[in-house]
Amino acid sequence: MIMNVSLSRSDNIYKEIEEFEDYELQNCIAYEMAIRNKKYKATLIRKVSAINDLFLSYRDNKPITDKSLIDLIEFYNANFDYNKESRDEFINNCLIDRISISLRDLGINEKATYELLKIDEIKDFEIIKYIKKTYEKEKPNILDDEINVYSNEGYKIIQSGPIEEDDTFILENKIMPDFKRPFLRFRNGKCTELLVNLSLPLNELICYLKKVKNDYTDNPSILKTPYEIMELDIISINNSKKQKKQAIKYADYFFCYDYYTLAKQNNPKLAKKKIYEFIDWQLLDYYNEDVGIEDTESTDDTNIDLRYYSDDNYAKFIPKMASMIEEKKYLELVSI
């Protein structure tokens, strides 16, 4: 093991990446890259922390200086009969909604559940604990006129609709992505709501989606796959018997990037090739190769068949991952 590096390919974060489905892969990979960008992560923590501080101030009856929170309290007092429990629920709902609104600039859709953020620094915030304790995932949000929420793997149906003055009930149905990571939607992106009638035959819906997609593909700003953006082919593995889906390969890539970054940070004089060896041992162990560390310590060509990836592979995709993360090229995966 390398000093001060305790990462393992079997850690939950990489096991979770392995489980990304094809329909959510590009979005989830982009988010995993985003939260490895120091500025993006720090901004996310700061935004949630600021609202958590307001939540604590209100909950603990501390002096409140934030004008927006004062305005909320005054609005409730002026429009509703005072009831502490009702007012607490109203204020807390508003603060929770404010988290969602504040995260829009980070591309995080406001319907994302907070456990999907995967940021250790915020999971113990009191407002996050309150959300997990108080609200069910499918509970409608009264403030948004939601009357029914149905969740299934990969998507969520949200029905909303206020009653108008003429007693007409206007029902609006939305199908939202409900991926294993927050759905990213940037202002400079080209996300669109596609209005479809689910009662139509499947082949007709497929033809309609193909028509829209094909016409859009003809546009010069064609969407690209993560591999095209990163200029990476599927990296071959020395053992040709192993054929893995893209999500599993990405789990490898993220592990390699994380391990290399932490190793270099804590051991700046350690040679790249030595780090590659340690990474390779981890991968060999994870995929149950019958190769021990003592068998791979030699770096001569006689051991090349014992490598999971070659040094050339590591030297190629680790810097490419670093470029995608540190230069915010992950935005291209969801914004072009």
Residue 256 resides in a domain = yes
Q: How far is it, in rounded angstroms, from Cα 239 to Cα 248?
A: 16
Place of tokens 């593909």: 217
Q: What's the whole-number mean pLDDT along residues 20-40?
A: 92
Residue 175 resides in a domain = no
Residue 176 resides in a domain = no
Single-letter amino acid code for the residue at 331: L
DSSP string covering 132-193: HHH--TT---GGGTEEEEEEETEEEEEEE--B-TTS-B--EEEEEEE-SSPPB--TTS----
Final residue belonging to a domain, choices 135, 163, 180: 135
CA distances from 130 to 136, 180, 308, 313 (A): 11, 21, 45, 45
pLDDT at 334 over 80: no
pTM, two decimals, is 0.77
pLDDT at position 241 is 41
Residue 152 resides in a domain = no
Q: How many domains does the structure of the chain reveal?
A: 2
pLDDT at 11 over 90: yes
* pLDDT tens digits along 203-247: 988 888 888 778 777 764 544 555 555 655 444 444 434 446 889
Confidence of residue 165 (pLDDT cuts 50, 70, 90): low
Structure tokens belonging to residue 191: 């996300």
User: 261: which residues sit within 8 A by CB, 6+ positions away?
Assistant: 322
* pLDDT tens digits along 239-292: 434 446 889 999 999 999 999 999 999 999 999 999 999 999 999 999 985 444
Q: How far is it, in rounded angstroms, from Cα 100 to Cα 238?
A: 45
DSSP string covering 86-135: HHHHHHHHHHHHHHHHHTGGGTB-TT--GGGG--GGGTT-HHHHHHHHH-
Per the CB < 8 A criterion, the answer to whether 328 and 37 are in contact is yes
pLDDT at position 45 is 94
Residue 62 resides in a domain = yes
Residue 212 resides in a domain = no
pLDDT at position 296 is 40
pLDDT at position 220 is 44
Same domain, 126 and 229: no
Residue 71 resides in a domain = yes
Residue 2 resides in a domain = no
Q: Phi/psi at 85 (nearest 5 deg)?
A: -65, -45
pLDDT at position 293 is 42
**111 burial via Cβ count (<10 Å: 0-12, 13-18, 19+):** middle
pLDDT at 72 over 50: yes
Final residue belonging to a domain, choices 96, 113, 135: 135
Q: Which long-range contacts (CB under 8 A, 24 or more apart) does 131-139 make?
A: 131/96, 134/92, 137/113
Per the CB < 8 A criterion, the answer to whether 118 and 181 are in contact is yes
Final residue belonging to a domain, choices 106, 135, 164: 135
Q: Could you tell me the residue range of the domain that residue 281 belongs to?
A: 12-18+224-335
